[in-house]
């Protein structure tokens, strides 16, 4: 059996098209243009590429986009002041601070991210939004796990009643993935670096999500035949090649469906950032957001 390949670009295009239509409606019916501000501190080349991609994606679908480039020497207070200014800026509905921060302010990362108003926290990292997700009130949800869920939903892959296993317990991927799957009535197990007999657990999974950060970590013997395998990992190996956490070539021979890397869930992350920006604009302006889902 060869797995169905879940191509990220196919699902990302659907999400972006829906955002574009919602934005046109907001512009014509509510005179509202959703706005995203991305702050980048310093000269990290990879961060610059990510920020440029986000800016271009916003422009493509009609989101107003501001990129705020601050020098690497920016103090914690100056950054907090900038965030406070954006919290009050009516043109801006989503604020994102590109990580990693320069060394001298890295220890203050949590304080800096928590300074973003929960209403404009399109990354979904603020404790208020984390708490809402944990009690089943999804507000602004972290983009990568949200993208995984959207992909399952758009691919008509049932979640309710399924055994789901998430490998990884980070605040960015593993834990929100747990909450999203649980809220959709899966029976969810979260594994991590101290889990024992991992393969025995992962072989139970109808839906297996790998968010570990280790190339080819999930091998074919860890996957139940027919399982849906979502590979969140992005790992650079020799010759600058990108691979996921899953041994794609082997696992695709037993899985029912599988996401490739590159070209898988990574593409959904930006799409969900756009979705969250539109959603934040709707909530701030009290436009019915149910229609966006």
Binding residue for ligand NAD, selected from 33, 204, 235, 250, defined by CB under 6 A:
235
What 8-state DSSP symbol labels residue 121? Answer: B
| b (16+ CB within 10 A) / e for 180-191 | bbbbbebebbbb
Stretch that binds ligand NAD, among 13-21, 74-82, 97-105, 233-241 (CB under 6 A): 233-241
Residue in the shown chain whose Cβ atom is closest to ligand NAD? 170
- Round to whole Å and give the CA distance between 193 and 52: 34
Binding residue for ligand NAD, selected from 212, 229, 254, 280, defined by CB under 6 A:
212
Least distance in angstroms from the C-beta of 76 to ligand NAD: 23
If one asks whether residue 176 binds ligand NAD (CB under 6 A), the answer comes out as no
Q: Is 254 helix (H, G, I), strand (E, B) or coil?
A: coil
The burial class, CB within 10 Å (0-12 / 13-18 / 19+), for 167 is buried
Question: Which residue is catalytic, options 22, 121, 123, 206?
Answer: 123
Q: Which is closer to ligand NAD, CB of 71 or CB of 127?
A: 127
Binding residue for ligand NAD, selected from 157, 198, 283, 292, defined by CB under 6 A:
198
Question: Which 130-159 residues touch ligand NAD, going by CB under 6 A?
Answer: 144
Please give the span between the terminal C-alpha atoms of the chain, in angstroms, as a whole number: 34
286 catalytic, yes or no? no
Q: Which is closer to ligand NAD, CB of 39 or CB of 234?
A: 234
Question: Angle 8-30/45-61 helices, nearest 10 degrees?
Answer: 50
16 catalytic, yes or no? no
Binding residue for ligand NAD, selected from 5, 102, 187, 213, defined by CB under 6 A:
213
Q: Which residues contact 72 (CB under 8 A, 6 or more apart)?
A: 41, 42, 43, 102
Least distance in angstroms from the C-beta of 228 to ligand NAD: 17
91 catalytic, yes or no? no
Write out the H or E segment, with its range, that includes residue 94. Answer: strand 94-97
User: What value, to the nearest 5°, has the Cα angle with vertex 157 and ends 163 and 256?
Assistant: 75
Neighbours of 91 (CB within 10 A): 12
If one asks whether residue 263 binds ligand NAD (CB under 6 A), the answer comes out as no
Q: Which residues are catalytic?
A: 54, 98, 123
Site residues (vs ligand NAD, CB under 6 A) = 144, 167-170, 172-174, 191-193, 195, 198, 211-213, 232-235, 265-266, 269
């Amino acid at each position: 059996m060869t797995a169905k390949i879940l191509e990220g670009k196919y699902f990302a295009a659907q999400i972006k098209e829906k955002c574009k239509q919602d934005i046109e409606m907001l512009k014509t019916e509510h005179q509202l243009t959703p706005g995203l501000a991305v702050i980048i501190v310093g000269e990290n080349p990879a961060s610059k590429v990510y920020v440029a991609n986000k800016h271009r994606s916003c422009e493509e679908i009609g989101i107003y986009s501001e990129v705020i480039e601050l020098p690497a020497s920016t103090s914690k207070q100056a950054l907090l002041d900038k965030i406070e200014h954006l919290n009050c800026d009516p043109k801006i509905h989503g604020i994102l601070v590109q990580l990693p921060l320069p060394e001298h302010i890295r220890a203050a990362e949590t304080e800096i991210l928590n300074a973003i108003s929960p209403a404009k926290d399109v990354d979904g990292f603020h404790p208020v939004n984390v708490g809402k997700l944990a009690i089943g009130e999804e507000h602004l949800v972290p983009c990568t796990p949200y993208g995984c869920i959207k992909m399952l939903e758009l691919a008509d892959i049932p979640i309710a009643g399924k055994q789901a296993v998430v490998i990884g317990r980070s605040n960015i991927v593993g834990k929100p993935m747990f909450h999203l799957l649980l809220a959709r009535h899966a029976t969810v197990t979260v594994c991590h670096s101290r889990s024992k007999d991992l393969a025995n657990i992962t072989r139970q999974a109808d839906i297996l999500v790998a968010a570990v950060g280790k190339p080819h970590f999930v091998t074919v013997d860890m996957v139940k035949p027919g399982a849906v395998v979502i590979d969140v990992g992005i790992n650079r190996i020799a010759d600058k090649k990108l691979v996921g956490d899953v041994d794609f070539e082997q696992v695709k021979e037993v899985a029912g469906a599988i996401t490739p890397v590159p070209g898988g869930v990574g593409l959904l992350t930006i799409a969900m950032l756009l979705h969250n920006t539109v959603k934040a604009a709707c909530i701030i302006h009290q436009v019915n957001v149910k229609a966006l889902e």
